[in-house]
Chains A and B, each alone.
Chain A
Amino acid sequence: MDILAVHGETLVIFAAVVGFLMAWGIGANDVANAMGTSVGSKALTIKQAIIIAMIFEFAGAYLAGGEVTSTIRKGIIDATYYVDQPELLVFGMTAALLAAGTWLIIASYYGWPVSTTHSIVGAIVGFSAVGVGMDSVTWSKVVGIIGSWVITPLISGIIAYFIFMSSQKLIFNTKDPIDNAKRYVPIYMFLAGFVMSLVTIIKGLKHVGLHFETSNAFILAIVTGVIVAIIGKVFINRIKIDPKADKKMHFANVEKIFAVLMIVTACAMAFAHGSNDVANAIGPLAAVVSIVGHNGEIVPKSELAWWILPLGGVGIILGLAIFGKRVMATIGTGITHLTPSRGFAAELAAASTVVIASGTGLPISTTQTLVGAVLGVGMARGIAALNLGVVRNIVISWVVTLPVGAGLSIVFFYGLKNMFS
């Protein structure tokens, strides 16, 4: 108890700094995965992508990031084990942040696409299982989270497959693809706007202090979707159809229309990523703040401190702004034959999956849903060539992340414990 009374402030500041750095790392790292498809298919320039990412990552983090934060803060471990020694939870959560951040830096250095979600979950499980006891981990919850890492890419892949198939059926495989693109692309835009806003309104806004009835939420989401579609339609009508371009490639103009859609899905992707991944940085921080704020009492139902979500959001966009450009430059040209009509299907599927999962509070891996979505489009024979060897390496790096995150966090946990006691 005394530890918290004496060092409480120091611990909160320390956790806040580490959490901020973690958010910064997430922004620097994952921007490539969240925005890469749009840049790779030339729908957006790097600069535009960074600006969109900054706005929507922050919005996603602030407006819809609360639910996952709660899970990370109190779902993975059973707080009753810490009632007598709350400082252990404070040390542990700080250690988890340090561990995940360290692992993120190491992985970035070597260019391994690790998942921030995996590393933080692994780290939390690690310190709790070893530092306190195997029983202190809510294993059922952990199994659920790990299960979601298998299920979500699958769902995302299936959604991507069907979105892609529908775009083929409605647009590409018709007598007049350009007219049909103009007709149906706004509907995809509506879908993107609808799904994003619905989950935000139902799940996210309560952490900001707004409440809506379900029926109102639906109406509001539909209105948002329609607004998005109308704005998109305006831009589509401004596209100059160039008949000469179609001589070389029948679908050049159709892809131009899809490029507008791609901008919408890129916004959705950034929003989804912000809503899901900000929690990895601020979930543990929220736990620390809550314990210290209640003088060592572990309260199951406490509101997020007002400054925590924005801290994470600002961290993410700073990481984006400072590092993102370099990251984007390396992938912008590397993706061959990724057309907007493919990219949009993958992005919309991944974003929808992430947002829906965020709504249930499951911390899933954004990277995983995107890989799943890309494979889904590949299954529909939509991508010229996918490198399955790379997919294998990515999966390996995901699996390795769990024990590494756990190991690191155990080390940091004992380090902190010795430092403060």
Chain B
Amino acid sequence: MPVNSIFGVFAKSPIKPIQMHIDKAAACSELLVSFFHASAKPDWVEAEKIRKEISTLEKQADELKRELRLTLPRGLFMPIDRSDLIELVNRQDKIANTTKDIAGRIYGRQLQIPNEIFTDFMTYVERCVDAVKQARKAINELDELLETGFKGREVDIVTEMIGELESIEDDTDTLQIRLRRHLLSVEEHYNPVDVMFLYQILEWVGQLADHSELIGTQLELILARS
């Protein structure tokens, strides 16, 4: 006998899946550090293993994204606008996708980061991953935001986190400019096609931070609609 109860009114919360999704995307990007270390050795067997892990995580993130979209039918009444949520998860998904592209490109061409810039390059990668982690930290406040009805002190805390995220993104820009200059000064010693791709990799890694910042602005937008 089905129950006649009104509790069908409560729909599945989208907040948990959003948080799980950013966790996957962040785990994905964190693997880049060990991936670049492996490729610099060069230990392509190890690098391939990590690339596969990245690819698996990216697939799981896609799966979560799809599931989340399915739990957001029209006619849901939420404290967050539906299209804002979908936009948020799209931006989160770009992090996983970009990570997968970077690893795929490096592995596919067996591309080596030039020794002269390697240390700086790793600092740059780590800083970009920091941006992703900071975005994850902010997204993980969503359930607290819900608890406080998207108002008051909790909003201030999250706004502060987003400010921190922006300053990390600024750092990565500075690092990127420096790296480009550095690469310019040594590029004639390397295969021109590889160098072209190296510039592209610099850009893609930077995009991790850019996408993280965009997650932050999306979150700000969600808060501003209160």
Contact = CB atoms under 8 A, between A and B. Distances in A.
Contacts of A107: 4
B56 interface: no
Contacts of B7: 32-33, 36, 40, 331, 334-335
**Is chain B's interface secondary structure helix, strand, loop, or mixed overall?**
loop
Contact of A387 (B11, B144, B153): B11
Interface centre among B6, B8, B143, B150 (most CB of A within 10 A): B6
A337 interface: yes
What 4 A-B pairs come out closest when comparing CB atoms? A111-B2, A173-B152, A384-B13, A381-B79
17 contacts: A33-B6, A36-B5, A36-B6, A172-B148, A172-B149, A173-B153, A173-B154, A174-B153, A175-B153, A249-B144, A251-B147, A330-B3, A336-B12, A337-B13, A374-B6, A378-B77, A385-B76
Interface in A25-62: 29, 32-33, 36, 40
B2 A385 contact: no
Interface in A376-408: 378, 380-391, 394
A251 B79 contact: no
A165 B151 CA distance: 10
A168 B149 contact: yes
B152 A386 contact: no
A87 B71 CA distance: 56
Nearest to B15: A384
B146 interface: yes
Contacts, number: 144
Contacts of B148: 168, 172-173
Given A112-B4, A381-B226, A388-B76, A334 B10 contact: yes
Given A331-B3, A386-B78, A168 B152 contact: yes
Given A250-B147, A381-B226, A335 B75 contact: no
Interface in A163-218: 164-165, 168, 172-175
A112 B77 CA distance: 21
Contact of A113 (B5, B73, B143): B5
Contacts of B12: 336, 385
Contacts of B2: 108-111, 330
Contacts of A40: 7, 10
Interface in B176-208: none
Given A111-B2, A249-B144, A331-B3, A336 B13 contact: yes
Interface residues of A, number: 53
Contact of B146 (A33, A370, A384): A384
A33 B5 contact: yes
A338 interface: yes
Given A382-B79, A384-B13, A386-B76, A394 B149 contact: no
Given A168-B148, A381-B149, 6 more contacts: A33-B7, A111-B2, A336-B10, A385-B11, A387-B10, A390-B9
A371 to B, nearest CB: 5
B149 A111 contact: no
A250 B143 CA distance: 9
A109 B1 CA distance: 5
A250 B152 CA distance: 14
Nearest to B12: A336
B11 A108 contact: no
B9 A394 contact: yes
Given A173-B148, A249-B144, A388-B75, A383 B10 contact: yes
